[in-house]
Amino acid sequence: MGDICDGFLSSGLKPDSVISVSDWADANRILSQTASSEPGRFRKSRTPYLKDIMDALSPSSSYEKVVFMKGSQIGGTEAGNNWVGYMIDQAPGPMLVVQPTVEMGKRWSKGRLAPLIEDTLCLRDKVKDPRSRDSGNTVQSKEFPGGIVVITGANSAVGLRSMPVRYLFLDEVDAYRLTQILKVIL
């Protein structure tokens, strides 16, 4: 499948795409050397069990909540990363990404999200270089046409406040404290 990147100017106005998250990832995602144990093209055939989970995250899916109970290092975060990339390119809107702590959120942003943006051609132009003035791009917040990704930690009550979101990505939930989970969910 060739590139199915979306146009730049119209991305905030168009109806959401019917392309699935797994097809988008297959066509566009490159796993970077600095962020992946197996760098190179993302192939959904390498982790077939992630396909339905990723596709349930597509806007065309009728599921509103997806819970993934899993073993370690089987691609759970990568499936979520594909969802983030897809959302920026195909169905922009506000997204909150929550890691167990703010520090882990920053680590995910620098170690996983920044390489994802840098190495995916259709995202590179949408999320401006953090070094440029007024880029709207910091470690904890990435702006792009039609949306924003905000990254925080479940340990930050303040970070979880006052953010109306269309998408909520909760990663490594078993490391949240129970009171934190209640704050995020309620």
Give me the numbers of helices (H) and strands (E) for the chain, helices first please: 7, 7
Identify which of residues 36 and 77 has a Cβ nearer to Mg ion in the complex: 77
Q: Tell me which stretch binds ligand ATP (CB under 6 A): 72-80, 116-124, 143-151, 176-184.
A: 72-80
Pick the closest to residue 78 from 49, 121, 103 (CA basis). 49
Report in angstroms the alpha-carbon separations of 17 from 38, 50, 51, 64.
Answer: 29, 20, 17, 16
Among 28, 57, 75, 176, binds ligand ATP (CB under 6 A): 75
Q: Are 145 and 89 in contact (CB under 8 A)?
A: no
Task: Answer yes or no whether residue 78 interacts with ligand ATP by CB under 6 A.
Answer: yes
160 vs 173 by CB, closer to ligand ATP: 173
Q: Which partner from the list ligand ATP, Mg ion, none does 31 bind, CB cut-off 5 to 8 Å by kind?
A: ligand ATP
- Name which of residues 69 to 88 contact Mg ion (CB under 5 A): 76-77
Q: Is 44 left (phi over 0), alpha (psi -120 to 50) or beta?
A: alpha
The option from Mg ion, ligand ATP, none interacting with 74 (CB < 5 to 8 A, set by class) reads ligand ATP
Interface with ligand ATP (CB under 6 A):
31, 36-38, 42-43, 46-47, 70, 72-78, 172
